[in-house]
Structure 1
Amino acid sequence: MVIPADKTTIAKYIPDELDRRIIAHLRADGRASLSKLSEALGVARGTVQNRLDRLVETGTLLGFTVRVRDDHEAQIRAVMMIEVTGRSTTQLTRRLRGIPEIHSLHTTNGNWDIVANIRAESLSDFDRVLREVRMIDGVSKSETSLLLTSI
């Protein structure tokens, strides 16, 4: 769920310590009730409600999401760093987005141009994704690391 906010409101509002604590609790449990948040933060339920309303209103909170246990998602997870040659980034990005196992893409600085988060059901699917990415015009080099354990 994305909630549009007025750009002038966003520029004026700076979250304080209580807002940051509310956001931290919501990152851990996006479905936490107002009562649970107020108890954890040591403030009145109405205070939490007012703060949440303001965080949503100003666009600081864009929405709430669900987190899924790792064992309910794809078994193979990896990070692939990609070097792009020439000015083919737009077409290359479009092709990468078309690969279902690529969960997210990020531009970056340093030696690599793009970082792709990959999630695959099996090693054979993972291998296919690696081959597919490396065959895209504009990919000059890549390096992939499997993610073993989340800590």
Structure 2
Amino acid sequence: MTLYVDADACPVKAEAERVATRHKVPVKLVSNGGLRPSANPLVEVVIVPEGPDMADLWIAERAGRGDVVVTNDMPLAARCVASGALVLRPDGSALTERNVGEALALRDLMTDLRAADPFRQGGAKGFGKADRVRFLDALERSLRAARA
């Protein structure tokens, strides 16, 4: 079992490390760079080459049944769900076979809408304390489920 974190712009890296350490689960923080190495022996910072979706490709090639992936990237989530990994968003919501297709379609729709209307930018809700609490609870449950 490994916890993979799509670490570029991930707001819950510290929380993921804390929960994984309690469960003695190795963590891979995958990024294009800009992350400091962790003193925690369970945490490995993986720096991938520059380029579009390189961190996503690295995670997708490795994550599978028994692993947990933290990402906000819908194509990556879809690939990881298909390979049997448990997938969480940083707000604590789980992506599963039942809902990842809808999330991917919504992402594509919003991309098209933003491309058609240059004034339709942003709109994402802020990330708050309640999101962190939901994430901590969801990660706790996911690590237990992956171990079972």
**Which structure's residues are more often strand, by fraction?**
1
TM range (shorter): under 0.3
- TM-score for the superposition, normalised by structure 1: 0.21
- TM-score for the superposition, normalised by structure 2: 0.21
Higher-Rg member (1/2): 1
